[in-house]
Structure 1
Amino acid sequence: MKSALKITSLTAIVVSILVLSACQNLFGLTSPTQTPRATIGNPTRTLAPTTTALPTMKSSSTPTSMPTLAITPSGPATCSTAPILPVISAEVDKKIPDPSKTDWVLGADTAEIIIYEYTDYQCQICANLAMNLRVLQTLYPDDVKIVLRYLPLTDEHDKAALAAQAAEAAGLQDKYWEMHDILFGLQDEWLSLSVKEFSTWLVDQAADLDLDKIQFMADITSDET
């Protein structure tokens, strides 16, 4: 290892010297002087250079003038108001249930902006959205309310349902949003785990949240969770 480093260092020094030598004398050495040698040979005749005047070319083209464009002033601009958020029709509004006891709600009851978040803990896009919404709600706690609902894609995500059950189990010990943030914030740690490995990982997180681990595991497997 040391010899390899030494060779690399020496190579770097040599290259540096070669590059810098093109700019200046690095070590203050003077190059040797050479004595000019006498040249022997037949005398050559010096020819005087001859010049021939070239004919002057005249341009026969005439510049083309650009047409003048008339500018007509337009009338005053008209503005129309539009809502910042899209207006939800009554038909669509009926399909969105109002917040209930089965939902997890974060924010003031008087908040004017209600965001219904349908999420999957194993979805990476959902993780980005969830954490951004958490920041938004923290910045505007009186104006923004988040209503969280589960939409696990169990056909694609083998641990989505178990993650939701873990969040619910933590919620029974008043640590729902803490587990919610752990599941999304540390998603990269458990995405590639097997279901069994993920269960062990969840127990470790429950311990970090000072949860009753025995109760936590019982609630995860309970039909009521």
Structure 2
Amino acid sequence: MTKAEIFEFFRRLAEDNPDPQTELEYGNAYQLLVAVTLSAQATDVGVNKATRALFARVQTPQQMLDLGEDGLKEHIKTIGLFNSKAKNVMAMARLLVDNFGGEVPSTREELVTLPGVGRKTANVVLNCWFGQETFAVDTHIFRVGNRTGLAKGKTPDQVETKLEKAVPQPFRLGAHHWLILHGRYVCKARTPECWRCPVVDLCRFKQKVLEPPKGR
């Protein structure tokens, strides 16, 4: 896409949804960090169902340690990979208490030292809580970036680098939310709903689905 097309791409998404937000539910930076960690290979809806009761009880890393790993597993057992995620969340809580005074650090370099926290998770926390212009490339953004021609890459890191260079102001802070939501609800993996896409004419995808399948 050209610079003018990229600007128009985000302008339309922003017009559709002026204040995009993550669909994960949380009350503070620590709860956001836990929710994003739990959301790997799981849906936000599923994570929210599991964390509502958990977050009513746990607001801090110390409270997570007090709950204990078995107690945490009881809350998150409906989430995929809950055993390994519980181990990571407990180890993360211990490190936050011991090394960061119970506070969530505000740099990517520090965040990725925490168990279970990779670059994508760190980018979500930096964007959603600390208001930093980061691009957390999940499966939706990877697909949308490649399919539309907005940011092509063979790996999430490559797509992130392309987005970092391509996305203009004033769209940088909300860009990854718009792309995730667009991928989740319109530019779907199996059947992209091009017939109702606000940026269909800017998209480079050759196999556009311009009419809904029969029965829809």
Q: So what's the TM-score if we normalise by structure 1?
A: 0.26
Point out which structure has higher relative CO (alpha carbons under 8 A, 6+ apart): 2
1 or 2, which has the higher strand percentage? 1
Q: So what's the TM-score if we normalise by structure 2?
A: 0.27
Quick check: which has more Rg, 1 or 2?
Answer: 1
1 or 2, which has the higher helix percentage? 2
